[in-house]
Amino acid sequence: MSRKLTLDELESKAYDIRMDLIRMLETAGSGHSAGPLGLADIFTALYFDIMKYDPKKPDWEERDIFLLSNGHCVPIQYVTMAYAGFFDKSELKTLRKFGSRLQGHPERLKLPGLENTSGPLGCGLSQAAGMALAMRMNQQHHRWIYVGMSDGEQDEGNVWEAAMLAAKYKLNNIIAITDRNNIQIDGPTEQVMPLGDLKAKWESFGWHVIEIDGNNIEAVIDACAMGRAVVEKPIMIVAYTVPGKGVPFMEYDFHWHGAPPGGIQPPGSPDKKQQAKIALHDLRTLQGKIRSEHE
Amino acid sequence: MANFYLIPDLLAKDIKQEATRKGFGRGLKKAGELDEQVVAACADLTESTNMSLFAETFPERFIEIGVAEQNLVTVGSGLAAMGKIPFVSSYAAFSPGRNWEQIRTTICLNERPVKIVGSHAGVSVGPDGATHQMLEDIALMRVLPHMVVIVPGDSVEAEKATLALATDKKNPGYLRLARADSPVFTTDKTPFEIGKAYVFDPGTDVTIISTGNLTYQALIAAEKLFKDGIDAEVIHCPTIKPLDAATILASVKKTGAVVTVEEAQVAGGLGGAIAELLSEEHPTPLVRIGMKDRFGESGKPEELLEHFGLTAKHIAMATHHVLGKK
């Protein structure tokens, strides 16, 4: 890859990616908004700083692996992959359309660069564990597996089965990132099924846990660097994000979990026909960038 | 019996008895010797599924998953993603009984050549009772795109089936195994190929299509029927998917009547598969032997096979019945 981008450049990239994400979802007419908007900074960091890959050789045997466990958030992956050069941005408008490579939930066999087929929740981490075990057998100790997970999917038992296995076999080349945005389809996670203290849970399962502000690109990069230095344990980054991040009328509102701009009319939101336009207009720039508001 | 494939005397009192899971254990070890990409994982039933032979020989290629069948198959998917040919074993009631969606999404839709081994299928599991006597696995696996489904007739065939599955680097597979000993009636020379059904006993009056270790019972039934003046053709159908339609239809066109035999729910099982084939291609009188929308219970294997109507005697009775419908 070419030179690394500066932090300012990465933040501008995340902003552009959010713009295209909003346009793509509006064109598709269905799909998830809140999670993908909240994840833009993590995906920008992964694809433009952290991971080793070649978009022209998606099967390159030395590449790092990214597995999306919560397949419904794939819109943000598609936009980031287009920016990273896996395919032309013009293809983004085909999302969820008949014949498109950009399926509503990711299908590995449709689009080179996707590492797994995903949608039903709770299976990404165990696939990562299988990959890590195979890499160990193959003496590939220099490849990293990043797993994008949601907080809501941790209701699934399969997640904790995988957690135990990865700790047992000390799969320290797995770096999982939980999008801790506190929403799921039926409402706030702590009402639907309280997850409680995720840091304590994962630590008690034998993982090295790092908590970060997941809308701060620098924090994402630093946490992954820290994670790669850990031996003996798999790594869980609990990334606190704001669902709908950047679009004021979507932020923190669980109604936007499974709907695109123009798709629904939650209380207090703009008129449906105007939602995408207002979202693009109001997308917070903070000096031209999406930056953590905790700074 | 004019059959050079099988052991010389099917009625021998001292016929060797061995469970199909034993043949799997030997086959997996051989597959491991032939190809270092073959790996194995088990959900806390390593001895019982006979994966132990592989685990002892290749400890670095064996993964103990614990009692976690959803994890078993999804870890299998990950192993296959990195070029491995994973065999993942448990009891059929749990895998594919509990983890069907994971198999569907992460193995079939994702096109990963994971081999799912479900032992302790059928009522012949015996004393463990209905919870552990898996009867719906054939139906569950048969409907999944890309999935190969094999039910070996004896331990010798189970070994061959395991080796054949290990060389298929494209498709996922399901290997259905039995706990109980059953007669070993095939030999090293008996042919086995994925997707092939075999005429083990030629005849002209009726076609008996059987899968798994009940094929032995079908062969015995054919001997009884011959004495009654009925010349039955026995087709052993170890591969339920892809079904060998050519062999089956050629026989049925000749005989005009069919009995299917399996130790599973006939709904969606071999009986279901044959009914689908015949009703589309060559409607023919059909009687299906197997479990009819009910569960098993505790008992000795032979008691249960008798109770649920899964013996040579019952196959012969069903044959008389279907001939009346001709």
CATH architecture of residue range(s) A7-282: 3-Layer(aba) Sandwich (3.40)
The three-class DSSP label of residue B89 is strand
For chain A, how long is the longest CA-to-CA vector?
57
H or E stretch covering A174: strand A174-180
Which of A165, A168, A169 should be substituted to probe chain B, the one whose Cβ sees the most B Cβ atoms within 10 Å? A165
Please state the φ and ψ torsions of residue B134, each to the nearest 5 degrees: -75, 130
Q: Is A134's CB within 8 Å of B84's CB? A: yes
Q: Is A126's CB within 8 Å of B71's CB? A: yes
Concatenate the DSSP letters of all residues of A187-209 into one string: EEHHHHS----HHHHHHHTT-EE
DSSP B104: I
pLDDT at residue A295, as a whole number: 47
Q: What is the mean pLDDT of chain A?
A: 93
Nearest alpha-carbon partner for A249 in A278, A292, A273, A277:
A278
Nearest alpha-carbon partner for A168 in A136, A140, A121, A195:
A136
B79 in reach of chain A (CB within 8 A): yes
Mean pLDDT of B199-211: 97
Predicted confidence (pLDDT) per residue in A199-257, tens digit: 999 999 999 999 999 999 999 999 999 999 999 999 999 999 999 998 989 998 889 98
Decide if pLDDT at B106 tops 50: yes
Please give the domain boundaries of chain B with CATH numbers for all domains.
17-183 (3.40.50.970), 198-324 (3.40.50.920)
Mean pLDDT of A181-197: 94
A130 in reach of chain B (CB within 8 A): yes
Question: What is the value of ipTM here, to two decimals?
Answer: 0.94
| Exposed e or buried b per residue across A176-205, where buried means at least 16 C-beta atoms within 10 angstroms of its C-beta | bbbbbbbbbeeeebeeeeebeebbebbeeb
Q: Is B68's CB within 8 Å of A120's CB? A: no
Partners of residue A234 in chain B, C-beta under 8 Å: none
Decide if pLDDT at B212 tops 50: yes
Q: How many whole angstroms separate alpha carbon B251 and alpha carbon B272?
A: 18
pLDDT at residue B291, as a whole number: 98
Q: Is A128's CB within 8 Å of B78's CB? A: yes
Cβ-contact B218, B313 below 8 angstroms: no
Residues of chain B by 3-state class (helix, strand, coil), percent to 5: 40, 20, 40
Predicted confidence (pLDDT) per residue in A276-292, tens digit: 999 998 887 655 555 55
Dihedral angle sign, alpha carbons of residues A262, A264, A270, A273? positive
Confidence of residue B4 (pLDDT cuts 50, 70, 90): low
Predicted confidence (pLDDT) per residue in B238-264, tens digit: 999 999 999 999 999 999 999 999 999
Please state the φ and ψ torsions of residue B246, each to the nearest 5 degrees: -65, -50
Instruction: Please count the residue pairs, one from chain A and one from chain B, whose beta carbons lie less than 8 angstroms apart.
Output: 96
Decide if pLDDT at B21 tops 60: yes
Residue with tokens 């051989």: B30
In total, chain A counts a number of residues equal to 295
Peptide bond into B191 cis (omega under 30): no
Q: How many whole angstroms separate alpha carbon B134 and alpha carbon B115?
A: 18
How do the domains of chain A map onto residue ranges?
A: 7-282
Residue with tokens 């980031």: A80
In the chain, the amino acid numbered B215 is: T
Q: How many whole angstroms separate alpha carbon B285 and alpha carbon A165?
A: 52
Q: Is A130's CB within 8 Å of B66's CB? A: no
Q: What is the mean pLDDT of chain B?
A: 97
Nearest alpha-carbon partner for B247 in B257, B261, B259, B233:
B233
Catalytic-role residue among B60, B69, B101, B159: B69
pLDDT at residue A290, as a whole number: 57
Peptide bond into B96 cis (omega under 30): yes
Cβ-contact A243, A37 below 8 angstroms: yes
- From the list A116, A130, A161, which residue is nearest B70 (CB)? A161
Predicted confidence (pLDDT) per residue in A142-180, tens digit: 999 999 999 999 999 999 999 999 999 999 999 999 999
B281 is an active site residue: no
Residues 6+ apart with CB under 8 A from A36: A21, A25, A73, A74, A75, A76
Output the pTM of the full model: 0.95
